Structure 1
Amino acid sequence: MPLPTDEKLLALSQSLLDQFHAIFGEYPGFRPAHAKGTMLTGTFVPTEAAKELSSAEHLNQASTPVLVRFSDSTGLPLIPDTDPNSNPRGFAVRFVLGPHRHTDIVSHSTDGFPTHTGDEFLEFLRALAASDPANLAGSPLEAFLGSHPAALAFVQTPKPAPSSFGRENYFGVTAMKFTNAAGVSRFGRYRIVPVAGPDHLDDEALKAKDANYLMDEIAARVAAGPVGFKVLVQLADEGDVVDDATIHWPVEREVVEIGTLSLTAPLEGSEAEQKTIIFDPIPRLAGIEPSDDPLLELRAAIYLMSGRKRRAA
């Protein structure tokens, strides 16, 4: 995957990477955000409804191998799983279509994103770096949140800690355009929900957990049997905004189940693979296209730039 040639986009991507490093520090070989994680392997099996939605390869064959990565937020490789800043959790899924052929879903455990554009996100990070979250009065962050309602809503959204990576809901941030074999297209956003149902910890239960409870628990859970997730797509109606990750669609919009993820084992060599794998928020295959959301090209550039740096480290 080549880097984009848009100089402005590349400069913004680098500025965002620099700002993450300014906030968290720089840890060679680790991601600037969602640094702490673990990987598993498994299989994806599509539903019949998936074929009606899209002609994409993995939605039209019997099954597809997957690699997945669960992660904590921040660029801190040793952040405790119990730290409130480790939310939202990340869940990236790679559908392995063949040698050097794949498509990915990148999701996290809060429905939405704080800003519409990368420039706004950089402004948000700079305000965060210049403020004390425990004393917001008169701070740059207070000013930013006061003038950006979507960011305020994202920050104020409850983010309870899950009992397990396998008991959390995950959301695709940006809309995709799904096109079926008949040429019919619909925009939609991914949702990934646990077969076992979501389960979150209250403050007292969280205090009893250790710093790596999520990493240890998912390894034990998958050793006891497959960990299942349903992959869903919430479909936009005509007139819904599909290029702004801060705008939620009405809850009554149709949701289609497109398949099941069955995670069956920890990935052997997970630590090394996490340093080399570069997930791509842009699907890059027939049957699923990116929307015009400005975050997509930016995120793809950031992931590629930071991924190349990880590999070099």
Structure 2
Amino acid sequence: MPSAEPPSSGPARRRALRAYAAITAIVGALLLLFAWTAGWLSPGRLTPARMTDAIEATSTTPFPGFRRAHAKGVCVAGHFEGLPAGAALSRAAMFASPRTPVLGRLSIGGGSPYGLDAQARVRSMALVLASPDGSQWRMAMNSFPFFGAASIETFFEQTRASAPDPATGKPDPARMAAFAARHPEAQRFAAWAKAAPWSDSFANTQYNGIHAYHFVDAAGMSRLVRWSMRPQAPFVEMDAAQREAAERDYLQDELRARLARGPLRWDMVVTLAGPDDDARDPSTPWPEAREQVVVGTLVLTQAQDQATGPCRDLNFDPTLVPSGVALSDDPILAARASVYAQSFDRREREIAHGDDVDGVPPQETAR
């Protein structure tokens, strides 16, 4: 019986060389893709690191161990009660269940963990709905009804324009005005910020998911939607004098006082897109006349300091969705996942390194 041909000679050797070449090509392609994604081959390209750097630069003081945006917040917990109307639109397990556990965080805008609650124009709600089947739904919502930028590049430009001038410690008004002049959506957002009334509580604030998603039902039918958490607590306006007089932790203290009296509730309201509504542009609100459906109720029962609470180490990545919910092709939504991950990794490294915040170890104060 003839012996097997050694791989060092003849056709076997050529086959082995072709196999090695194919493996090398695959590895090379992966390295090239990784390098391109990281921005190494195009230094001017916008990357998650550059976007996170720009967000960090909007704060005059670094706060290691804290979130780069919405640094000040409070952990909350409760549950979500799904409704049949939600199950009809989406096969997500959360709508079929009468009670899904929820962990979350209520926060204010800005990079300082010591900001004044009542003077923060933007309030936010982030949630993790964890179904018994192991699926999760992570949401990130804000009090503004639409985004101030139509693209991630515009948001990067806006973030850089709002960075404080080293000479004054405040954004340069001329630079901000020049940015707004080039972007009508920024003007729309500024008009909202100036005219919309301020709520006097986390509990009576509406939180909006500004991105479009697809709800997919049991039959596989997909509907484009946006959603909001609309408070059952009646809205009460807070005027400028009240905001000036409020204590630093006013919103957190007021929230705890309300929770001591009983649970707080928000209706989850889904807006169904019309044929002309653009899924890719979170800066354009959909018309009020669009069909709206109440699909469930969020119930919050507890609050806890973020330094020791269960929300501290959570990354509220809004692209983590359950079966029955699918991402739209909104590029800003896609970019948020990588920027959130970048921010999360940085603060985890800072905690591990033991960086101090104003002389206090970050593990005692962070996030």
> Does TM, normalized by the shorter one, top 0.5?
yes
Shift of 1:204: 2.2
Contact preservation (8 Å) 1:163, 1:201 = yes
- 1:143 and 2:178 matched: yes
Shift of 1:173: 1.4
SS across alignment from 2:156 = helix
Give the distance between the partners of 1:270 and 1:43, measured in 2 at CA.
Answer: 22
SS across alignment from 1:260 = strand
> Partner of 1:156 in structure 2?
191
| Shift in CA distance, 149/277, structure 1 to aligned 2, threshold 3 Å | same
- 1:194 and 2:215 matched: no
> Partner of 2:90 in structure 1?
54
Count of aligned residue pairs for this structure pair = 306
Give the distance between the partners of 1:165 and 1:130, measured in 2 at CA.
Answer: 28
Give the distance between the partners of 1:58 and 1:94, measured in 2 at CA.
Answer: 11
Residue identity in the other structure for 1:42:
G
Residue identity in the other structure for 1:109:
S
- 1:293 and 2:330 matched: yes
> Partner of 1:72 in structure 2?
108
SS across alignment from 1:273 = coil
Give the distance between the partners of 1:29 and 1:112, measured in 2 at CA.
Answer: 29
> Partner of 1:96 in structure 2?
130
Shift of 1:65: 0.5
Shift of 1:200: 2.2
Contact preservation (8 Å) 1:130, 1:141 = no
Contact preservation (8 Å) 1:169, 1:198 = no
Could you list the runs of 5+ residues in structure 1 that have no partner in the other structure? none
Contact preservation (8 Å) 1:103, 1:280 = no
Give the distance between the partners of 1:109 and 1:48, measured in 2 at CA.
Answer: 27
Deviates more, 1:213-222 or 1:262-271: 262-271
> Partner of 1:306 in structure 2?
343
Give the distance between the partners of 1:274 and 1:229, measured in 2 at CA.
Answer: 19
Give the distance between the partners of 2:133 and 2:76, measured in 1 at CA.
Answer: 19
SS across alignment from 2:198 = coil
TM-score computed with the length of structure 2 as normaliser: 0.78
Shift of 1:268: 7.2
> Partner of 1:261 in structure 2?
298
Give the distance between the partners of 2:96 and 2:65, measured in 1 at CA.
Answer: 36
Contact preservation (8 Å) 1:114, 1:150 = yes
Shift of 1:97: 1.9
Alignment of 1:226-305 (within 5 A): 226-267=263-304, 271-305=308-342
SS across alignment from 1:298 = helix
TM-score computed with the length of structure 1 as normaliser: 0.91
| Shift in CA distance, 268/32, structure 1 to aligned 2, threshold 3 Å | closer
Give the distance between the partners of 2:189 and 2:203, measured in 1 at CA.
Answer: 23
What whole-Å deviation, never above 9, does each CA across 1:164-221 have from its counterpart, x for those lacking one?
Answer: 1001111101000001001111111111111113222011222331111001111111
Give the distance between the partners of 1:270 and 1:80, measured in 2 at CA.
Answer: 18
Give the distance between the partners of 2:337 and 2:172, measured in 1 at CA.
Answer: 34
Give the distance between the partners of 1:63 and 1:267, measured in 2 at CA.
Answer: 21
Contact preservation (8 Å) 1:275, 1:310 = no
Give the distance between the partners of 1:272 and 1:48, measured in 2 at CA.
Answer: 32
Alignment of 1:147-226 (within 5 A): 147-157=182-192, 158-226=195-263
- 1:117 and 2:151 matched: yes
Shift of 1:254: 0.5
Residue identity in the other structure for 1:311:
E
Could you list the runs of 5+ residues in structure 2 that have no partner in the other structure? 1-32, 40-44, 352-367
Contact preservation (8 Å) 1:12, 1:118 = no
Give the distance between the partners of 2:81 and 2:202, measured in 1 at CA.
Answer: 20
Give the distance between the partners of 1:231 and 1:130, measured in 2 at CA.
Answer: 37
Residue identity in the other structure for 1:111:
P
Give the distance between the partners of 2:313 and 2:196, measured in 1 at CA.
Answer: 29
What whole-Å deviation, never above 9, does each CA across 1:76-130 have from its counterpart, x for those lacking one?
Answer: 11011132xx221111111012497421111000101011211111111111126
Shift of 1:29: 1.4
Deviates more, 1:198-207 or 1:163-172: 198-207
- 1:127 and 2:161 matched: yes
Shift of 1:134: 8.2
SS across alignment from 1:173 = strand
Residue identity in the other structure for 1:22:
A
Q: Could you say what the CA RMSD is over the residues aligned between the two structures, in angstroms?
A: 2.2
Residue identity in the other structure for 1:304:
A
